[in-house]
Structure 1
């Protein structure tokens, strides 16, 4: 069976490339609701294109109020679901190739969504096509379910499950191989500080902003300063330790814009990036601002958050025996002379709770200066490594890779945690760089094809009719 799967997958290679390109060329970043399009027109276009591709391959499809859609094959009462999404995070900056051109270079397709999650969605769809072309009889319905706002709350899939049956089993091709038996909890917190006080002479912070999404390490941040001349500002900056190549100073009439260029990364892996907001504030905290509350805020951020990514100084550092450790990422900030707000994306240990994280943080805050509120909490996912469902996924993976390593835990969050029994499974192979939410995101074409083969084998092993049935 392995050889037949590989042969069929290879015969579909060019079609997989084209389908991935068609989806990646749609800039499906969530936008304001527009009429019948709950997450904006571009997200809808991506969903419609995925449905069109699926129907052209001969599959039954169903669109659920433009919130989600499914592609179905097989028969039976039980459902095996493959959970993917067609929305993407903003592209950020500094790309080598255009983020929505889906160009092919060095056997890689480049573009936002190639690895998260349009490429994997294509691999899942073509896995179903492989099973179909091999005339495998199924005793379960197999559904590729396509969500539309996974990157910003997963509301669309919850909506879908209010209208459609919950699958008995599900895997989400939206992480790494091998099978993921545990996902950390995901907590978004909004911090706010009231900076309003009587104007004073001297250096003022007119504006500060940075970041595109809570679950991205921001690669750019800027602040606008007034009440100082260029010579004075340059002398102050000379006394501060920072990477000069990362900072840019620009005069704008009587004000100065200071911008910092960091390195983007997925919010679950802040150690892989360089947080532009945090590094900019590190510099600003050493400048003599006239406003007392501005100084207090900058001192708070610099001392309690700084450039750490484990939450140690703010009191929420934590780790369990799974093992999973807490990560802390400031993803978005916006403020002016009167108020500043920023959103922090926290991935907390599988055996912890959001309530503990928030309590630990509040115990380390000056409540007169900083307010914290919970925006979103998605509880952790955990399944035993020896669960039969996980073992079948592992067998399919091992057959095509020879890798005998066991199931793993991750900080990323997938649709798997929204179903009764689900896990994440691929598409990133061990040792490959994590490029989700980063510039120059790509998927290796060979890996796209190999993932489709692995998913096809998993479908056959889980939903295929055995010879003696």
Structure 2
């Protein structure tokens, strides 16, 4: 069977590339609701394109109010679902190749969404096509379920399950291989501080802005200040320890804009990036602002958050025996002379809770100026490594790779946590860099094809009719 699956996958290579490119070329970043488009017209276009591609293959499809859709094959009461999404995070900046051109270079397709999650969605769809072409009889329905706002709350899939049956089993091709038996909890917190104070002469903070999304390490941040000459500011900066090449100064109409360039990364792995917001605030905290509240806020951020990514100074550092450890990422900030707010994306250990994280932070704020509130909490996912479902996924993966490593735990959050029994499964292979949410995101074409073969084998092993049935 392995050889047949490989041959079928290779015969579909060009089609997989084309389908992935068609999806990536649609800039499906969530936007404001517009008429019949709950997450904006571009997200709808990506969903419609996926449906179009699926129907051309001969699959049954169903669009659930433009919130989500499914592609179905097989028969039976039970459902095996493959959970994917067609929305993407904003593209960020400084791409080598255009983020929505889906260009092919050195055996890779480049573009936002290639690895998260349009390439994996194509691999899952073509896995179903492989099973269909091999004329495998199924005793379960197999559904590729496509959501539309996974990157910003997963409301679309929750809506889908209000209308459609919950699958008995599901895997999400939206992470790494091998099978992922545990996902950390995901907590978004909003920190706010009132900066309004009677105007004083001297250095003023006019505004701060930075970041694109809470679950991205921001690659840019900027602040506008007034009440100081550029030459005087440059002199002050010589006394501060920072990487001068990352900071740009621009004077205009008695104001100076400080722009900091960082390195983007997925919010679940802040250690892989360079947080432009945090590095910029570290600089600002050393400047002599006249507003006492501004100084207090900047000092708080520098002391309690700084450039750490484990939450140690703010009191929430944690790790369990799965093992999973807490990560802390400031993803977005905006401020004017009256108020500052920033959103932190925290991935907490599988055996912890959001309540514990918040309690630990509140006990360590050491200032009444800063308040916090919970914006969202996605509880952790855990399935035992020896569960039969996990073992079948692992067997399919091992047959095509020879890799005998164990199931793993991750900080990323996938649709798998929204079903009764689901796990993440691929598409990145061990040793590959995690480039989701980063500039120059890509998918290797060979891995796209190999993943489709692995998913096809998993479908056959889990949903295929056995010889004695």
Q: TM-score, normalised by structure 1?
A: 1.00
The 5-angstrom pairing of residues 261-340 of structure 1 reads: 261-340=261-340
Q: Can you give the 5+ residue segments of structure 1 that lack an aligned partner in the other structure?
A: none
What is the alpha-carbon distance in structure 2 between the residues aligned to residue 378 and residue 367 of structure 1?
28
Q: Can you give the 5+ residue segments of structure 2 that lack an aligned partner in the other structure?
A: none
Matching residue of 1:53: 53
The 5-angstrom pairing of residues 351-370 of structure 1 reads: 351-366=351-366, 368-370=368-370
Is the counterpart of residue 103 in structure 1 residue 66 in structure 2? Answer: no
What is the alpha-carbon distance in structure 2 between the residues aligned to residue 234 and residue 156 of structure 1?
49
**Does the residue aligned with 2:455 lie in a helix, a strand or coil?**
helix
Post-superposition Cα deviations, 1:251-299, rounded to whole Å, max 9, x if no partner, equal 1111000000000000000000000000000000000001000000000
Matching residue of 1:245: 245
Shift of 1:366: 3.8
Is the counterpart of residue 216 in structure 1 residue 216 in structure 2? Answer: yes
Matching residue of 1:127: 127
The 5-angstrom pairing of residues 398-413 of structure 1 reads: 398-413=398-413
Matching residue of 1:196: 196
Matching residue of 1:3: 3
Matching residue of 2:181: 181
**Does the residue aligned with 1:20 lie in a helix, a strand or coil?**
helix
Is the counterpart of residue 235 in structure 1 residue 235 in structure 2? Answer: yes
Is the counterpart of residue 85 in structure 1 residue 46 in structure 2? Answer: no
What is the alpha-carbon distance in structure 2 between the residues aligned to residue 257 and residue 233 of structure 1?
11
What is the alpha-carbon distance in structure 2 between the residues aligned to residue 113 and residue 333 of structure 1?
24
What is the alpha-carbon distance in structure 1 between the residues aligned to residue 368 and residue 82 of structure 2?
48
What is the alpha-carbon distance in structure 2 between the residues aligned to residue 250 and residue 185 of structure 1?
41
Shift of 1:164: 0.1
Post-superposition Cα deviations, 1:75-133, rounded to whole Å, max 9, x if no partner, equal 00000000000000000001000000000000000000000000000000000000000
Shift of 1:68: 0.1
Shift of 1:355: 0.2
Post-superposition Cα deviations, 1:4-29, rounded to whole Å, max 9, x if no partner, equal 00000000000000000000000000
Post-superposition Cα deviations, 1:36-91, rounded to whole Å, max 9, x if no partner, equal 10000000000000000000000000000000000000000000000000000000
Matching residue of 2:462: 462
Matching residue of 2:159: 159
Shift of 1:231: 1.2
Matching residue of 1:448: 448
What is the alpha-carbon distance in structure 2 between the residues aligned to residue 370 and residue 398 of structure 1?
50
What is the alpha-carbon distance in structure 2 between the residues aligned to residue 318 and residue 26 of structure 1?
39
Shift of 1:368: 2.1
What is the alpha-carbon distance in structure 2 between the residues aligned to residue 344 and residue 255 of structure 1?
29
What is the alpha-carbon distance in structure 2 between the residues aligned to residue 290 and residue 448 of structure 1?
56
What is the alpha-carbon distance in structure 2 between the residues aligned to residue 310 and residue 231 of structure 1?
37
What is the alpha-carbon distance in structure 2 between the residues aligned to residue 31 and residue 122 of structure 1?
23
Post-superposition Cα deviations, 1:392-419, rounded to whole Å, max 9, x if no partner, equal 0000000000000010000000000000
Shift of 1:367: 5.1
What is the alpha-carbon distance in structure 2 between the residues aligned to residue 21 and residue 53 of structure 1?
12
Post-superposition Cα deviations, 1:284-316, rounded to whole Å, max 9, x if no partner, equal 000000100000000000000000000000000
Post-superposition Cα deviations, 1:173-208, rounded to whole Å, max 9, x if no partner, equal 000000000000000000000000101110000000
Shift of 1:378: 0.2
Displaced runs of 4 or more, over 3 A: none
**Does the residue aligned with 1:117 lie in a helix, a strand or coil?**
helix
What is the alpha-carbon distance in structure 2 between the residues aligned to residue 122 and residue 162 of structure 1?
25
Post-superposition Cα deviations, 1:371-405, rounded to whole Å, max 9, x if no partner, equal 10000000000010000000000000000000000
What is the alpha-carbon distance in structure 2 between the residues aligned to residue 44 and residue 153 of structure 1?
17
CA RMSD in angstroms comes to 0.4
What is the alpha-carbon distance in structure 1 between the residues aligned to residue 252 and residue 94 of structure 2?
24
Matching residue of 1:117: 117
**Does the residue aligned with 1:376 lie in a helix, a strand or coil?**
strand
